[in-house]
Structure 1
Amino acid sequence: MIDELATSPAVQGLLGRLGLGELLPRTGESPAGRNHNTAGVTTTGNAVFVKQLDRNQPDAARRFRRLRAYEEAAAGGDGLLDSPRCLGWDDDELLVVFEWLEGARPGSDLATAEEFDDELAHRAGRMVGAVHSLPPEKCGEPEANPPLLPPLDFFEALPLAYHTQASGASLEAWGMLQRDTELAVGLRRLRTEEATAAVAPAHCDLRLDQFLLHGDRLLLCDWEEFRTADPARDVGGFVGEWLHRAVLDIPAQDTELNSPSPQLSHQDIVRRGTAELDRLRTRNVAFWQGYRETSAAVDPDLAVRATAFAGWHLIDRMFAAAEQRPRLTAVDRAAAGIGRSAVLHPEKFTTVLGLEA
């Protein structure tokens, strides 16, 4: 299969204007992602990764402006923050060119292989702290609204477009959450607290797979949600990733947990997930220590809000898994329950999750 993006006139024209040569035709799978991507070595020997945002998506132009704003804000930084080097862009075509880090491993793969250790987590914390310390005035156009998630309107009614495309498990999950008025109130309270918090430049889509390890370099990528926002979103995203993994990593021998009718009780699942979180907690402790070394944030309530965002992150990851299934599993329901507790009573879980004062 020929990579059509690699040979498109728009890409070749941009590479030529940047003095990077011509990208040679290639076959095989394009790099994965929600955008159109291609990668390869040009005729001048430059290894490039090219991303084109899909202009058919209604927010594509806005996401492109955010990405560009990050590149402009981070240019000439102090070295704490490392991202794939941006080589140039084309505003009209929604194209951006980066250095291609062939063989780079995403943080999610490292975590699965038990290789995202405390040292990497500490470095990740320092990097996120450096993001939050960027000059806010360099973050591009101010945005009137916070990031979409959590989608509070969904607690009232699902949009028709979502309903017609959602899996059976996703609809089952929303049916469960829409009856949970206490959770809806807790999420609205979190949004209110977020609206009055001091903002800073933030990634706003922080997950382990946004980190890349290339050799000894730890990099942070995918800046399409970059804006000034509550720093607790990013901290909660990282912490929530390990909370999610604690639920996923319930001992593999309990294969019946992935069926809708498991033999173990909900309490057994929560207990095993809690034990796994205790094992992984040192990642969050190291991240939080690194974060506080470099962040300019002084908000005493940041850890509590971050814990609530971590709870929502766990619920959101439950939906990501549910999109692939016809029914919710016991692990899905346990994830929702643990996330709910963190949203409703975050002050009780900051230390448990590693966000110690």
Structure 2
Amino acid sequence: MPTPLKNQPVPPKLRYAPVPLDDAPQVQGLLSRSGLGTLDPESLTSYMGRNDNWAGTTSTGAEVFVKHIGGSPQDSLSRFTRVTSFDRMLRSTAVAELHSPRLLAADEPSRTLAFDLLEDCRSGADLASDEEFDDALAERAGRLVAELHELPLGEYDVDDSLPPMPPMDSLQALPWQLFVNCSAAQLEAWGLMQSDQELLTALNGLRERELAATRRPSHCDLRLDQFLLSGETLLLTDWEEFRLADPARDVGGFAGEWLYRAVLGIPKALGAEERFGRSPSHEEVVGRGVEELDRLRPRVEAFCAGYRAVRPDLDAGFAVRAVGYAGWHLIERMLAGSAQRVRLGAVDRAAAGIGRTALLAPAASVTTLGLGGLS
């Protein structure tokens, strides 16, 4: 894990010291071959993420963000190809709302990509944390995602493999490599899921409905931090999971993000009671959760309004599937949040419980989650 830079102002995205360029010669090689110049090692920075990355100004004055896609040879090639496949589709299509950082150069053998660096941008997660991801921005996000789902396929070769989540095989038994790398909290989470037959039945039902749905170009890893606001332009980034998939998955991901934020808001809303030494009752916890969801639901409703304005003709089961994906999103959040913990936390359990409820009764949760506009 790269170490944070010291004594530096913190922008909307946390910055880190990048991997030394001497240890990643493919970075300068890609930039120089592409006529972009070379990066100054002394002025580089890096952003938090699963891939090594470098950001800065080159000797030609270009502002670049360079990313190396790590992992096994086959997995990294698949993710690299999805990124370049999306870029080709986007650049050959006239769109009004669908924007993404421009891909400047790519090198398949080293799995290295160079993009325009957007220095003045803020992520959707940052905006939401500061209560600045409002209904108007959510409506624009809905239009953007709908335009993605309407991209014409043409002759493009787009990955049509099923998204890896939910991991149906691992819900039966964990592969050894995954097992030995799990934290104690993750093993606890997997155990809870594997022993919950109702949940497994619901996830199998969601997968069956997914297989029957018409597939469209989809992001398949939609989170608020994948949205970037640069000036007045809203962009979507990180296309490593891009493929042909059920478009309801992306809509459910967006709804799931706000549902998870409602869960995260419960401890904050109950903080006053806890500071005075009184533990809140179950009814108070549930009540606060309902209040938080009521407060945030308009973001999802605005997103759906923007989405429906671009894609008015949706299949009858679209909203119900979106609820199922939103429910899985919360369970996946539990898994991700437990990676460095010994025990599952209260917020993780609460998120998973709400996600489970959505998965078991998706039709009953459509309006509750703000997805009624898609019915």
Same fold (TM over 0.5): yes
Q: Please name the residue that 2:125 is paired with.
A: 108
Q: CA deviation at 1:27?
A: 5.4
Work out the CA distance in 2 between the residues paired with 1:51 and 1:25.
15
Cα 1:188–1:2 change in 2 (3 A) is closer
Q: Answer yes or no: is 1:199 the counterpart of 2:209.
A: no
Cα 1:203–1:2 change in 2 (3 A) is closer
Q: Answer yes or no: is 1:123 the counterpart of 2:140.
A: yes
Indicate which of 233, 247, 258 corresponds to 1:242: 258
Contact 1:266/1:330 (<8 A) preserved: no
Work out the CA distance in 2 between the residues paired with 1:257 and 1:152.
41
Amino acid at match of 2:201: V
Could you say what the CA RMSD is over the residues aligned between the two structures, in angstroms?
2.2
Work out the CA distance in 2 between the residues paired with 1:295 and 1:107.
23
Larger CA deviation: 10-19 vs 64-73: 10-19
Work out the CA distance in 2 between the residues paired with 1:285 and 1:32.
30
Q: Please name the residue that 2:360 is paired with.
A: 344
Indicate which of 50, 68, 78 corresponds to 1:62: 78
Residue-by-residue CA offset, 1:278-306 (whole Å, 9 max, x unaligned): 10000000000111112375212111100
Work out the CA distance in 2 between the residues paired with 1:27 and 1:3.
13
Q: CA deviation at 1:154?
A: 2.3
Work out the CA distance in 2 between the residues paired with 1:326 and 1:55.
26
Work out the CA distance in 2 between the residues paired with 1:133 and 1:312.
24
Q: CA deviation at 1:353?
A: 1.0
Work out the CA distance in 1 between the residues paired with 2:253 and 2:156.
20
Cα 1:2–1:318 change in 2 (3 A) is closer
Cα 1:164–1:319 change in 2 (3 A) is same
Structure 1 counterpart SS, 2:47: coil
Structure 1 counterpart SS, 2:268: coil
Indicate which of 96, 101, 120 corresponds to 1:79: 96
Q: CA deviation at 1:198?
A: 0.7
Structure 2 counterpart SS, 1:240: helix
Residue-by-residue CA offset, 1:66-85 (whole Å, 9 max, x unaligned): 00000000004323211111
Larger CA deviation: 126-135 vs 29-38: 29-38
Q: CA deviation at 1:25?
A: 1.6
Q: Please name the residue that 1:233 is paired with.
A: 249
Q: Please name the residue that 2:14 is paired with.
A: none
Amino acid at match of 2:109: D
Contact 1:3/1:26 (<8 A) preserved: no
Contact 1:51/1:95 (<8 A) preserved: yes
Q: CA deviation at 1:45?
A: 0.8
Q: Please name the residue that 1:94 is paired with.
A: 111
Contact 2:68/2:112 (<8 A) preserved: yes
Contact 1:139/1:201 (<8 A) preserved: no
Residue-by-residue CA offset, 1:191-224 (whole Å, 9 max, x unaligned): 0000010110000000001001112211100000
Cα 1:205–1:161 change in 2 (3 A) is same
Contact 1:125/1:287 (<8 A) preserved: yes
Work out the CA distance in 2 between the residues paired with 1:113 and 1:301.
34
Work out the CA distance in 2 between the residues paired with 1:35 and 1:248.
27
Amino acid at match of 1:240: G
Q: Please name the residue that 2:4 is paired with.
A: none
Q: CA deviation at 1:329?
A: 2.4
Cα 1:29–1:11 change in 2 (3 A) is closer
Contact 1:5/1:36 (<8 A) preserved: no
Q: Please name the residue that 1:288 is paired with.
A: 304
Cα 1:139–1:166 change in 2 (3 A) is farther
User: Gapped runs of 5+ residues in structure 1?
Assistant: none
Q: CA deviation at 1:7?
A: 8.0
Contact 2:19/2:52 (<8 A) preserved: no
Q: CA deviation at 1:269?
A: 2.5
Q: CA deviation at 1:18?
A: 2.0
User: Gapped runs of 5+ residues in structure 2?
Assistant: 1-16
Alignment of 1:182-331 (within 5 A): 182-252=198-268, 254=270, 263-295=279-311, 298-331=314-347
Q: Please name the residue that 1:25 is paired with.
A: 41
Amino acid at match of 2:290: T
Work out the CA distance in 2 between the residues paired with 1:283 and 1:192.
29
Q: Please name the residue that 1:161 is paired with.
A: 177
Work out the CA distance in 2 between the residues paired with 1:330 and 1:138.
49
